[in-house]
Each structure stands twice: as structure tokens, then as C-alpha cells.
Amino acid sequence: MADHRRQWPITDDLATLRENVQRYAEQAGLTGPRLDDLVIAANEAAINVLEHGGGSGMLTISCDGGTLAVDVVDRVGVLRPGAVPSERPSGRGDRGFGLWLMGELCDSVTIDRIPGQSTIRLSMQVDGDADAGGPADGGSAFGRGARSV
Amino acid sequence: MTAAVVLTPVSAPVADHVLVVALDGALDYTNAEPLRRNVEALLGEHHRQLVLDLSGVSFCDSTGIRILLAVRKLLQERDGAVTLAAPNDRLAKIFRVTGLISAFTVAPSLAEAFDVVGARSNPR
């Protein structure tokens, strides 16, 4: 399958980043509440980079088979695997809250860390949603013109 | 930075102690902070109830939620409360998942929010 990866730097222009993620995910077949969930989770991951991850990083989105993946990389590498709380943290302001929220919204959240770099991967299955879409939505929607969001 | 959320006071058929404000825009990490100050600036001494019309808010993240909780505290300090009206599906979802929905009264429409504040106890 051709590599349809797209990549954007994480800056304080979160609105544009959300639009980019939404447009890509929509074209990959994610719709409705699950599309909202991924956009919210990707935004939370980007906030993490701005707030705790050194202020700059990169968001990469890709779709491999039926799995849509958003990788958010920071250049600090403090975030460690297993940092996603399973229970809602009591303080809504702390870092764990955003991580917990990502875990609630996405099919899976994994964290990889190498010295100086942490990656949060948000995954969503798109198969079911694509099948439930309209007649023109079967399979990959790549190659069609970008819809405005 | 995300464009600032615009606050517009709404004149509505409600009691004097109720302030109704419509919010427009996307509330996120980059622009949420001023909202608390802007709400505070609109609150008069006599206001005990705040209704926020969220129908024009396209997005709210965890930072926006933190600020909404700070606004709630502002009203609690004057023995009042905040009612959130007409959140879109995306906002309603995040309010539900985060538990914010239990910290506020959330009304599906502005009219229903007015019913809620009308039904609340009168100001002292």
C-alpha cells in the first residue's frame, strides 16, 4: 500500500492542526463521534507537547490497512511507557488528565520512549466505519478531492 | 494561536440576577486563559446565575474545561451557578467523558437553560 503519511509540526496553531487531522481521518473513513474522538485526542497529545514536551514536536498521521495512527513526538523524552492512567485523575489540570482522556477516546494509546524523544501513538480502527458509510465510501477514500472541513 | 473566543452578552427574558453570554469560537490550550477574565469583567455585583450559550463553540479541550471550572468557581464564590446551554455533539461528548457534565447543569438548548435558571431559587 502506498505511503499516505502526512506530517505537521506542532505549534500554537492548534486550530489548523485539528483541521488537518480531521480532514485526513475523514478521508481515511473515520466518521461521526469517532472522528471527533480522534481530533480531541490528537489535540490533547499536541497540548502535552506544548505544555510539557519542550514546546515543539511533530504530528504524523498514517493509515495502514484499517488502522489510523496518529504519532505525536516531543523532543524532551520525559513521557514514559505506561504513563496513561486507567482511572480518571482527580485533578483536571494535571498531565495525567490529558493522557487519561486520550485513553478513553481512542482504541489504543501507546507511548514509546528513546532518550530525548517520546512518542504517543493514538490508534483508531476505521474498517467498521468505512463499511457503514455511503456507497461511495467503501474502502479507502484516498485519491478523492479533499473535502472542506 | 487559535482566534480568541468572542463573548457576547445576550438580552433575554430572565431575571436581573441572571447573566446570559454567548460564546463563539474554539476553546483550546492557546486561547482559553482569557475567558475567565472576560467572564469576570461582564459579571455585575448582582449576577448570581450565569448561562453560557455554547451553540457557537466548535471545540473545547481539557484546557477549556479547566477554564469552565474556574468560571464555575467564580459563580460559586457568590453563591451562584453556571448553566451550559446548547453544546454541540463534540462538546457534549467531552463533557460526558470528563465528568464535567456532573459539575455543571447542561441544558440542550438556551430555552431550556432559561427554564433551569428560572426554576432555581431566587436571589437574596
* Structure confidence by residue, pLDDT tens digits, B15-42: 899 999 999 999 999 999 999 999 999 9
pLDDT per residue of chain A (149 residues) written in tens, 0 to 9: 445 899 999 999 999 999 999 999 999 999 999 999 999 999 999 999 999 888 889 999 999 989 999 999 999 888 888 888 888 887 655 668 889 999 999 999 999 999 999 999 999 999 754 444 443 343 443 433 333 33
Which residues of B fall below an 8 Å CB-CB distance to A?
1-3, 26, 28-30, 59, 61-63, 65-66, 69, 89-90, 93-94, 97-99
Domain tally, chain B: 1
Query: Distance from A15 to chain B by nearest Cα, in Å?
Result: 6
Cα within 13 Å of Cα(A105), Cβ side: 32
- B123 found inside a domain: no
**What domain range includes position A27?**
6-127
Spatial strand order in the sheet of A117-125: A6-10, A57-64, A67-74, A117-125, A108-114
Cα within 13 Å of Cα(A94), Cβ side: 9
- B56 found inside a domain: yes
Of B29, B65, B94, the CB nearest to A14: B29
* Structure confidence by residue, pLDDT tens digits, B59-74: 999 999 999 999 999 9
- A39 found inside a domain: yes
Residue of B nearest to A34 (CA): B90
Domain tally, chain A: 1
Query: Distance from A98 to chain B by nearest Cα, in Å?
Result: 7
CATH of the domain at A74: 3.30.565.10
CATH of the domain at B71: 3.30.750.24
ipTM of the complex: 0.85
Name chain A contacts of B62, Cβ cutoff 8 Å. 44, 47, 92, 97-98, 101
Helical ranges in chain B per DSSP H:
33-42, 62-76, 89-98, 100-103, 110-119
- B1 found inside a domain: no
Amino acid at A49: V
